[in-house]
Amino acid sequence: MMQINADYTIIDHTWLWRADHDVGGLVYDRKNPVDHGLVVNGDNVTGYGLFSEHSLDDLLVWNGNGGKAYFYQSEMPYDVTQEEYGTKVGYRVGDNVTSHEAYGVGVYTFFRDYTVSPDSGIAVPSAPGVTVTNALGVKLDGLGGLQHIINDKGSGTDEFTPLTYYCNWNNEEVVFLQ
């Protein structure tokens, strides 16, 4: 939906939403297709109040170095299968990124049509300059949930644990609270 290629850019309050309903009612089976809500390729990009919902691939992909995100909320799509979405995430920092800071990252699920349990809600490279502070996983309703919060670490969400936190990820120190 939105791609940032310029360096030193500020993104302020965006809501990038793939429609989960239209004039005909609820959307099923990957209709209204869009891959990503936000792709950031520029360096030193800062985002404030970012929202991305229901896209059919990783909801956010951050490929630029020096990025900072302050508050990000996402909701995975309702109408995908485990095969289609099991490795997708709500927030992905590219493998080549060496510096990135994210504060207040929330990944929500409501898999309405099929049981889906993605590996993680957030995927970041193992680099000392990449940090995530105050990550949150929420199962709103539906089937499945997240297996882990960040990089296959931390508790996931399910019918018995609809809310889970990961306080600090920086590849050296991990503090977890549930």
User: Which residues does the annotation mark as catalytic?
Assistant: 75
| Residues 157, 138: Cα–Cα separation, whole Å | 6
Which tokens sit at 147?
Answer: 């297996």
Is 164 strand, coil or helix? Answer: strand
- Alpha-carbon gap, residue 27 to 167, rounded angstroms: 35
**Cα–Cα dist 90/110, whole Å:** 13
The rounded distance, in Å, linking the Cα atoms of 28 and 54 is 12
User: 25-26 and 21-22: which strand pairing?
Assistant: antiparallel
Distance CA 114, CA 107 (A): 18
Contact by Cβ (8 Å): 51, 17: yes
Report the alpha-carbon distance of residue 130 to residue 128 in Å, rounded.
Answer: 6
